[in-house]
A and B are shown apart, each in its own frame.
With several copies, the nearest count.
Chain A
Amino acid sequence: MENLLNQGVGLALFGMVTVFSFLTLLILATRLMSFLVSQIDSEEESVLVDEDSLPDSSPPIAVIAAAVTYYLSKKQS
C-alpha cells in the first residue's frame, strides 16, 4: 500500500513535469518553425498548393535512392 502511494506520487510528479517540459519544448519548436517559415516566405512567394504545377525537372524521388545507397554503403563499410 505504501508502495502504491509512492508509485502514485512519483508518477504524478513525473507526469506533470513531462507534460510541462513537452509543451515548453513545443512552444520553442513552434516559434522556431514560425520564424523559419516567415524567413522563407519573405524571400519567395508561398510555395504551397499551386494547382497547375507539374512536377519540376529534378525529380526528388532520386533522393530516396540516394538515401538508401548512402545508408547501405555506410553499413557495409
Chain B
Amino acid sequence: MNQLWTFWQSTGLYLLTLDQLIMILIGLLLLYLAIIKQFEPLLLIPIGFGGILSNIPGVDIAVGNGVLAQFSAMGLDTGIFPLLVFMGIGAMTDFGPLLANPKTMLLGAAAQFGIFSTLLGAIAMNEIGMFDFSLAQAAAIGIIGGADGPTAIYVSSVLAPELLGAIAVAAYSYMALVPLIQPPIMRALTSRRERKIRMRSIREVSQTEKVLFPLVLLLLVALIVPGAAPLLGMFCFGNLMKECRVVARLSDTAQNALINTATIFLGLSVGSKLVAEEFLVGETLGILGLGIVAFGIGTMTGVLMAKLMNLFSKNKINPLIGAAGVSAVPMAARVANKVGIESDPDNFLIMHAMGPNVAGVIGSTIAAGVLIQFAA
C-alpha cells in the first residue's frame, strides 16, 4: 500500500499543477498552428513540443541536468544555435534582386520603424503603470518588429533571457500571420493606381558582384555598427560560401544538415523557456499585443517610404513591395505579390519584393546591433 502511495505521488496526475496544464495546452496549440495552419512549422513544432516536455511534472527536462536544459545552456544562452541558423539562412539567401536595385534597401530600412516604435510602446506601457519593463527588456520586445526569428531569439538571449519564450513565440506567430496582418494595411495606404505600378525588369547581376557583396556588407558593419557583426558576420559567411562556388560541399551542409540540426536544437531550447513561471505572466500579454503593433507599423512605414521615394524618382516603385521590408522572408514578398495581383493579374511583384525583403533582414540585424550595444 505504501508503495502504491509513493507511486501515486510520483505520477503526473498527482503532481500536475494548473500552470503546467495550461502551458501543455499552449504547447499543443502551437503544434496545432504549426501542423494544421502551417504557421512556421520548422520552428513552432520544436518550440511547441519542447514547451510540452518542459511542463511535465516530476522529471527534470528543462531544468537541472535535463536534456533540454543542456541544449539550452549549450546553444541558446551562448547564442550559438541562432547564429548557426542565421549562417544557414545566409547560405540560402540570394542578394541578386537587391543588387539589381539597391535603392530598395531604403524600404528595408523604413520598415524597421516597427522595431523602435514597439520599444517606445513598451516604455509607454511602463508610463501608464501596466508593466515594469527595463530598457533592455523593451529593446528585446521591440525586436519582434524585425520579423526575423533568429535575430529576435539572439537579441533576447542577450538582453532579456527571461522574456525569450514569449518573444520567440510572438515573433514566429506573427511572422506566420503576415498574410493576415499586412494586406489590410497595404490596401488602406495605397491607391488602386499605385498598386498597379509595373516596375522595370530586373537587370542580371554578375557572380562577381554576388561574391563581393557579403564582404562589402561585413566591412561596412565592422566600421559602423560592430555590435551587429556576430549576427551579420555569420550571415555573410553563409552567403559567401554559397556564392563563391568553390566550397559547394560546405554550403550544402550549411543549408541542410547543419541548419536543420541547429533548428531542432534551437526550437527545443526555446521550448524549454516555456515554463509556467516565466510565460504565464502579464508581460506575455503585453508582448503579444506590442508584437502585432510592431508588424503593423513596420508594414506601414515600409509602404509609406516607397510612396515618399516615388515623389523624388522617375522610376516608380510599386509601394506594395515596401511592406516586404519588414523581413519575414519569403512570406512578406509573397504577400506583396499576391496583393499586387488582386489589382493587376499580370503584374508579378515577387522578384521586386525580394530586394526589400532581404534588405529588411539586414536592417533588423543593424537595429539589433544598435540595441545590443546601447541597451545592454
What residues of chain A have their CB less than 8 Å away from a CB belonging to chain B?
A: 1, 4-5, 7-16, 18-27, 29-31, 33-34, 37-38, 40-41, 46-49, 53-57, 59-61, 63-65, 67-69, 71-72
- Counting CB contacts under 8 A, is B237 at the interface? no
- Counting CB contacts under 8 A, is B74 at the interface? no
Main secondary structure of the interface of A (DSSP, over half): helix
Does A55 contact B176, Cβ atoms closer than 8 Å?
Answer: yes
Does B209 contact A14, Cβ atoms closer than 8 Å?
Answer: no
Q: How far is the CA of A31 from the CA of B103 in the complex (A)?
A: 9
Question: Which B residues touch A59, using CB under 8 A?
Answer: 177, 180
Question: Which A residues touch B179, using CB under 8 A?
Answer: 54-55
Kindly count the residue-residue contacts between A and B in the assembled complex, taking CB atoms under 8 Å apart.
Answer: 183
Q: Which residue of B lies closest to A47 (CB)?
A: B36
Does B7 contact A14, Cβ atoms closer than 8 Å?
Answer: yes
What residues of chain B have their CB less than 8 Å away from a CB belonging to chain A?
A: 3, 7, 18-19, 22, 25-26, 29, 32-33, 35-39, 98-99, 102-103, 105-106, 108-110, 112-113, 115-117, 119-120, 122-123, 126-127, 134-135, 138-139, 169, 173-174, 176-177, 179-180, 205-209, 211-213, 216-217, 220-221, 224-225, 244-246, 279-282, 284-285, 288-289, 359, 362-363, 366-367, 370-371, 374-375
Question: Which A residues touch B37, using CB under 8 A?
Answer: 53, 55-56, 60
Could you say which of A4, A5, A10, A31 has the most chain B C-beta atoms within 10 Å of its C-beta?
Answer: A4
Q: Chain A's nearest CB lies how many Å from the CB of B204?
A: 12
Per a CB cutoff under 8 Å, which of A12, A34, A68 touches B116? A12
A-B CB contact pairs (8 Å), 27 listed: A8-B119, A8-B122, A11-B116, A15-B367, A15-B370, A15-B374, A16-B113, A19-B363, A20-B106, A22-B220, A22-B225, A26-B105, A26-B216, A29-B220, A30-B213, A33-B213, A37-B212, A47-B36, A48-B35, A48-B208, A48-B245, A49-B244, A53-B37, A54-B180, A59-B180, A60-B29, A71-B19
Question: Which A residues touch B370, using CB under 8 A?
Answer: 11, 14-15, 18-19
Does B127 contact A65, Cβ atoms closer than 8 Å?
Answer: no
Does A71 contact B280, Cβ atoms closer than 8 Å?
Answer: yes
Q: Which residue of B lies closest to A52 (CB)?
A: B38
Does B213 contact A11, Cβ atoms closer than 8 Å?
Answer: no
Q: Chain A's nearest CB lies how many Å from the CB of B108?
A: 6
